[in-house]
């Protein structure tokens, strides 16, 4: 039976470490604020944004919140990003995604100063990650590396299979596990023989966005299974991309949903913000 990896506990540990660091930085006169922009009132986004602001308050950094109307133009949004780029006290800028369809997400991401790109989505951050230079790493995959490390799971030399190739999770996940010396396979919706490939994984990272899709036939005995999915099932209960009850008896360690990967994203966002306050993006791997 698998060990359950407790993302809530590990994220709390990280936030407590950051709280101490923030207090030490304040003694040195270093402070800063995270600016969070939300366009429209998507309920899921509103929950994420509120959690981000609460996390800032917890670790002791400032947060500025911009709740813009759904019909805000791309120009107006770009103007706000520019204004925040120029504000000395703002050390991190986060534009909550998805944006309304009349706004081009790429244009907005490109407009954020790479020095304040705490999401790690700017092409400069992505490029630095790809070539192993210090920069901001995207929060969810960086959080997964922390979950593995802080659970005592060796990554080097392991076969890591990533399901999903999004810019936010799959691709940076592949780069980060590669940096940790894993042998990495990236799979996606067009991959043939997916169960067979997944059964070769020592560490299976599932970010496919399909509720309860991955069952026992995808998992090798003793594998570590990380579930990035978050959905509501027919009974309105939260579930992941993995059939938890079916996979738990086979795996050696598994993340639950909720309480696995989810809380780590915000913890690593806070880590990136603290790095922004410290001296700008200085390392690819958070700890």
If you write DSSP's letter for every residue of 193-258 in order, what string do you get? SHHHHHTT-SEEEE----TT-B-GGG--TT-EEEE---EE-TTS-EE-SB-HHHHTTT-SEE--SS
Q: Establish whether 52 is a catalytic residue.
A: yes
| 95 binding ligand GUN? (CB under 6 A) | yes
Nearer of residues 119 and 248 to ligand GUN, judged by Cβ: 119
Which residue in this structure is represented by tokens 């030399």?
157
Between CA 269 and CA 138 the distance in angstroms is: 8
Nearer of residues 119 and 180 to ligand GUN, judged by Cβ: 119
| 94 binding ligand GUN? (CB under 6 A) | yes
Q: Establish whether 87 is a catalytic residue.
A: no
Which residue in this structure is represented by tokens 């392991």?
158
Q: Establish whether 119 is a catalytic residue.
A: yes
Strands 3-4 and 238-239: unpaired
Distance of closest approach, residue 134 Cβ to ligand GUN, in angstroms: 20
CB closest to ligand GUN, residue no: 97
**Selection from 186, 159, 191, 154 nearest residue 173 by Cα:** 186
Q: Which position among 38, 96, 146, 286 bears the catalytic label?
A: 96
Q: Taking contact as CB under 6 A, which single stretch among the options 60-68, 94-102, 170-178, 194-202 is the one that binds ligand GUN?
A: 94-102
Residues 134-173 that bind ligand GUN (CB under 6 A): 139
Which residues, including other chains, have CB under 8 Å from residue 72's CB and lie 6 or more apart?
39, 100, 103
Which residue in this structure is represented by tokens 């407009």?
111
Distance of closest approach, residue 169 Cβ to ligand GUN, in angstroms: 9
| 130 binding ligand GUN? (CB under 6 A) | no
Between CA 17 and CA 214 the distance in angstroms is: 34
Q: Taking contact as CB under 6 A, which single stretch among the options 56-64, 88-96, 201-209, 251-259 is the one that binds ligand GUN?
A: 88-96
| 268 binding ligand GUN? (CB under 6 A) | no
Which residue in this structure is represented by tokens 């810019």?
167
Q: Which position among 6, 38, 52, 243 bears the catalytic label?
A: 52
Distance of closest approach, residue 249 Cβ to ligand GUN, in angstroms: 31
Query: Which residue in the set 96, 187, 272, 286 belongs to the binding site for ligand GUN (CB under 6 A)?
Result: 96
Query: Which residue in the set 124, 187, 265, 272 belongs to the binding site for ligand GUN (CB under 6 A)?
Result: 265
Q: Where are the beta strands (DSSP E) in 96-165?
A: 159-163
> Among all residues, which ones are annotated catalytic?
52, 96, 119
**Sites of contact with ligand GUN (CB under 6 A):** 94-97, 119, 139, 265
């Amino acid at each position: 039976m698998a060990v359950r990896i407790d993302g809530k506990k590990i994220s709390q540990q990280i936030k407590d470490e950051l709280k101490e660091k923030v207090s030490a930085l304040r003694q040195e006169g270093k402070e800063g604020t995270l600016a969070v922009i939300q366009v429209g009132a998507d309920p899921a986004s509103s929950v994420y944004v509120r959690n981000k602001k609460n996390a800032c308050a917890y670790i002791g950094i400032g947060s500025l919140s911009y709740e813009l109307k759904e019909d805000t133009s791309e120009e107006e949004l770009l103007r706000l990003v520019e204004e925040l780029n120029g504000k000395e006290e703002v050390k991190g800028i986060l534009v909550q995604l998805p944006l309304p369809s009349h706004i081009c997400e790429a244009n907005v991401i490109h407009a954020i100063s790479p020095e304040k790109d705490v999401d790690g989505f700017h092409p400069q951050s992505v490029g630095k990650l790809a070539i192993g230079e210090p920069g901001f790493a995207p929060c969810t995959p960086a959080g997964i590396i922390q979950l593995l490390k802080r659970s005592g799971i060796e990554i080097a030399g392991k076969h890591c299979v990533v399901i999903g190739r999004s810019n936010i999770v799959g691709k940076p996940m592949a780069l980060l596990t590669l940096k940790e010396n894993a042998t990495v396979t990236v799979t996606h919706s067009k991959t043939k023989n997916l169960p067979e490939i997944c059964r070769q994984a020592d560490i299976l990272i599932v970010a496919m966005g399909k509720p309860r899709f991955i069952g026992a036939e995808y998992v090798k005995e003793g594998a570590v299974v990380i579930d990035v999915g978050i959905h509501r099932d027919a009974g309105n209960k939260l579930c992941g991309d993995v059939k938890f009850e079916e996979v738990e008896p086979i795996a050696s360690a598994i993340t639950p949903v909720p309480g696995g990967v989810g809380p780590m994203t915000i913890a690593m966002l806070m880590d990136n913000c603290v790095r922004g306050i410290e001296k700008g993006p200085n390392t690819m791997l958070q700890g």
